[in-house]
Structure 1
Amino acid sequence: MIFGLTIEKLLLIGLVAALLLGPERLPRYAEALASFTKRAREWVSTARTRVRDEMGEDFDDVDWRTLDPRQYDPRRIIREALLDDAPVASVTASQVQPAAPVPPTTPVRSPFRGPLDGPTPYDSEST
């Protein structure tokens, strides 16, 4: 299965393409698809060769199946991460001491100026 396509789906796509393209254009499109497939295979093999050359001997040591993202289950990963930690002692609300209030050292000024802060600044030369 390529991208979830089965043989039946591929045959149906081919039949619809044959009906839409017609017998005149179908050979040209089939040839273009074949050349595109060949170029894609060459590109993939070139990329694989370049990766192998750049990684050196370590390329063969990598277990690529462990890096497959389809195998990861987020629930399992979270469960394992939570179970790896040492158990934390629980604290009840009666054991928590209230924090002492800290008096502010300087008054906090509002970024918005209101009518009590004085007149609104006005520049007579700006208009």
Structure 2
Amino acid sequence: MFGINGSELIVLAILAVAILGPERLPEYASQLARLVRELRRMATGAREQLREEVGPEIDDVDWRKLDPRQYDPRRIIKEALLDDVEEAVRPASAPNPARRPATVTATAAAATAATAATAAAPAAAAASMPAPPFQRLERLGEGERAPFDVEAT
């Protein structure tokens, strides 16, 4: 748990007996046991409180996935890049108008015309609005220095 092997544990026990002495060692051992019990009780209480607040779906969470030791930036970047490629390669869900059947009924033609009219209304409104003004960029002459703004730096 703490990266301590058997021989290191024995050395630590001998040091504890030597430093604390045999008369105080049982008192400190009981305090350590009390501390461990209290920590377990607190962990159990936190787990129960979390289950009450979140609900039963907390049991369905894959906690291994959220373990920070599983964090591998190379894998995350690779998955993100592959997701973008899959989205770019995936065919569009909109139907292709060139592949429409040759026979179109009158009802379908009327519905298509109505859809085109409603789609054209916002475009016509946008065309009637004045274009936003733009600032003309002037190039500096050769050897001319760029303006310097003291407050901007």
Q: CA, structure 1 residues 11+55, in 2 after alignment: closer, same or farther (shift >3 Å)? A: farther
- Rounded Cα–Cα distance in structure 2 between residues aligned with 1:30 and 1:109: 72
Q: Which residue of 2 aligns with 1:111?
A: 150
Q: CA, structure 1 residues 68+110, in 2 after alignment: closer, same or farther (shift >3 Å)? A: closer
Segments of 4+ in structure 1 off by > 4 A?
107-110
Given the alignment of the two structures, is residue 86 of structure 1 paired with residue 85 of structure 2, yes or no? yes
Aligned residues: 97
Deviations 1:39-68 (A, max 9, x none): 001111111111111111211121212111
Q: CA, structure 1 residues 38+86, in 2 after alignment: closer, same or farther (shift >3 Å)? A: same
RMSD over equivalenced CA pairs, Å: 2.9
Q: Which residue of 2 aligns with 1:116?
A: none
Unaligned stretches of 5+ in structure 1? 88-101, 113-127
Q: Which residue of 2 aligns with 1:97?
A: none
Unaligned stretches of 5+ in structure 2? 87-136, 140-145
Q: Given residue 111 of structure 1, which amino acid in structure 2 is its aligned partner?
A: V
- Rounded Cα–Cα distance in structure 2 between residues aligned with 1:3 and 1:78: 32
Normalised by the length of structure 2, the TM-score is: 0.52
Flag the structure with larger Rg. 2
Deviations 1:89-118 (A, max 9, x none): xxxxxxxxxxxxx338xx956539xxxxxx
- Rounded Cα–Cα distance in structure 2 between residues aligned with 1:110 and 1:53: 59
Between structures 1 and 2, the one with greater helix share: 2
Give secondary structure in 1 for the equivalent of 2:38.
helix
Normalised by the length of structure 1, the TM-score is: 0.61
Q: Given residue 19 of structure 2, which amino acid in structure 1 is its aligned partner?
A: L
* Greater relative CO (CA pairs within 8 A, separation 6+): 1
